Structure 1
Amino acid sequence: MHALTVICTYVRLGMLNVLQYRGDFIFQIVGILIGLVTSLLTIGIVFNQTDSLNGWTTDDLIALVGIQILMRGVISMVIRPSMQQLMEGVRLGTFDFTLTKPADAQLLASVSQFNAAAVADIVIGLGVLVVSLARLGATVGFADAILFVVLLFAGTVMVYSFLLMLSTCSFWFVKLSNILVIFGTMFENAGRWPITIYPGWFRVTLTFLIPVAVAITVPAQSLTGRLDWQTTMLALGLTALFAVGSRWFWKFGLTHYTGASA
């Protein structure tokens, strides 16, 4: 209950911030729409030369783009801004105050920032996904929807765990803020295509090192009829491994955190 209260407090502050800067919110929506049009034009150019991209059709890829926009919204809403704040707090020494509060430090660090404007990404991503599924004529049953939500949640947890481990490295290496920019660029560029089109070594990288596959491609496969149970179990297993590993690494990092006074 205490954790829920903390989360609700940060959500309320984030909503107030959006109401205060409504102009920025409108510009963000325009930026999302421009990015969407660019992605659709790119897909159109590719499929002007072929009917299928390693088995993926035009509407399949549009569904994948919708999931990518949706996931980008989820990451931009809480995970990425909170990790940026964590690294900045370590650099400036303000993270020390987080450790003095009567709540789990990881929880506080993970929800310290709430970007309510990212709801626009989520809504637009869902809209693109629904339209693409309608064009595909896909019938999504209750079990399919549940599996999709579970895989989407798994992808979110895996991305969060990955970014938490990167941010924890700031306990030793203070200036790491650019690493989130690098992740965002790779997530944006590599994530807009199914990992099955990449060379083997890059597929391994996007599956086991940088969680683009579990976050985007696997949920898309579940809705387009390409997902098998082996891939599902691998995705869930990797998610559990990342979650446990990030928690352990966080605690390990805290034991080596010297604080601003050092």
Structure 2
Amino acid sequence: MKYYRVWKALLKIRFQNLMMFRLGFWGPFFVDGSLFLVQLAVFDAIYANVERIDSWGRGEMILYIGTFSLINAVNMVVYFFGVNGIAGKIRSGEMDLYLTKPVSPLFRLTFECMNPGALPLLFFSICIIGYGVRTAGITVSAGRMLGYLFFLGIMILLYYEMEVLIRSVAFYLVSNARMEQLEEAGLELCMNLPGIAFYGIYKFVFYCILPYGIMATLPVQSLIGEMSWGTAVFGIAVVCAFSGLTALVWRNGIKHYNSASS
């Protein structure tokens, strides 16, 4: 209940700050919506002449794109702008202010910059998912939908963990710019290419090291009935492993953090 009240206070403060400048509140709706439509046009151009990727046809690919877009939309609405500032606050010493508050610094950093301007992305992504299901001719049972929602939830968590982990490197290095460039390149590739297209060393990298390849692939496999028990266990194990790694890196980083006053 304590953290729920803190979350409500952060949300209220965020809306008050945004509404001080109305264009700053409504502008992102137009910008993010337009950017999404441009990305959709790019995806359509890429897959216009591609009939199948492995066992997936056009419908499954549309479903994949919608799922990845939905994961990214949740990221943009809820925590991206807060988490993205972690490295800068570490370098500037502003992290001192978060460590003195009677609440987890990571909790506050995560939710203090929620972005309602990205809400249209959620709506558009859900529409694409619905269109993908219809195009692929998938019969969605209650069990498949529950499996899809479960893997969607833990992949949103994995996306968050990867963002925190990469930015927590700033506790140990002067700059994490290269890590963020690697993150951007991995995301851009995996947004356009599903995990089922990777083999050999590429599959190891994008399933285990930079697991962007499984983030939308596993929810889609669950929904279309292609997921084996081994794949399901593997996906859960990856999320658990990165949860532990992120917590370890963050805690040790806070422990060894040199404040601006030191």
Distance 1:100 1:83 in 2: 18
Alignment partner, residue 35 of structure 1: 39
Q: TM-score, normalised by structure 1?
A: 0.91
Distance 1:174 1:78 in 2: 28
Distance 1:177 1:216 in 2: 26
1:174-225 deviation digits (Å, cap 9, x = unpaired):
4325633541342122232211212311111111111213311111111222
> Is 2:48 the counterpart of 1:44?
yes
**Matched letter for residue 111 of structure 2:** V
Distance 1:201 1:9 in 2: 46
Q: SS at the partner of 1:42? A: helix
> Is 2:11 the counterpart of 1:7?
no
Note if contact 1:168-1:249 (Cα within 8 Å) is conserved in structure 2: yes
Distance 1:16 1:42 in 2: 41
Range moving further from structure 2, 15-24 or 185-194: 15-24
Alignment partner, residue 149 of structure 2: 149
Q: TM-score, normalised by structure 2?
A: 0.91
User: Shift in Å at residue 18 of structure 1?
Assistant: 5.6
Alignment partner, residue 223 of structure 2: 223
Distance 1:171 1:57 in 2: 44
Runs of 4+ aligned structure 1 residues displaced above 6 Å come to none
Alignment partner, residue 238 of structure 1: 238
Distance 1:53 1:257 in 2: 46
Note if contact 1:64-1:192 (Cα within 8 Å) is conserved in structure 2: no
**Matched letter for residue 163 of structure 2:** L
> Is 2:133 the counterpart of 1:133?
yes
Note if contact 1:171-1:256 (Cα within 8 Å) is conserved in structure 2: yes
After superposition, the Cα gap between the structure-2 partners of 1:14 and 1:206, relative to the gap in structure 1 and judged at 3 Å, is farther
Alignment partner, residue 75 of structure 1: 75
Range moving further from structure 2, 24-33 or 168-177: 168-177
After superposition, the Cα gap between the structure-2 partners of 1:111 and 1:222, relative to the gap in structure 1 and judged at 3 Å, is same
Note if contact 1:87-1:174 (Cα within 8 Å) is conserved in structure 2: no
Note if contact 1:7-1:111 (Cα within 8 Å) is conserved in structure 2: yes
| Unaligned stretches of 5+ residues in structure 1 | none
Note if contact 2:171-2:257 (Cα within 8 Å) is conserved in structure 1: yes
Alignment partner, residue 167 of structure 2: 167
Alignment partner, residue 86 of structure 1: 86
Note if contact 1:89-1:95 (Cα within 8 Å) is conserved in structure 2: yes
Alignment partner, residue 62 of structure 2: 62
1:100-131 deviation digits (Å, cap 9, x = unpaired):
00011221222232122222222111110001
User: Shift in Å at residue 17 of structure 1?
Assistant: 5.5
User: Shift in Å at residue 58 of structure 1?
Assistant: 0.8
Report the count of equivalent residues. Answer: 258
After superposition, the Cα gap between the structure-2 partners of 1:157 and 1:173, relative to the gap in structure 1 and judged at 3 Å, is same
**Matched letter for residue 235 of structure 2:** A
Note if contact 2:81-2:115 (Cα within 8 Å) is conserved in structure 1: yes
Range moving further from structure 2, 76-85 or 128-137: 76-85
Note if contact 2:152-2:219 (Cα within 8 Å) is conserved in structure 1: yes
Alignment partner, residue 197 of structure 2: 197
Sequence identity (%): 19
1:30-72 deviation digits (Å, cap 9, x = unpaired):
1111111110121113x2xxx3221110111011010111111
Alignment partner, residue 53 of structure 1: 53
Distance 2:14 2:177 in 1: 22
Query: Aligned Cα RMSD in Å?
Result: 1.8
Distance 1:90 1:38 in 2: 36
After superposition, the Cα gap between the structure-2 partners of 1:58 and 1:16, relative to the gap in structure 1 and judged at 3 Å, is farther
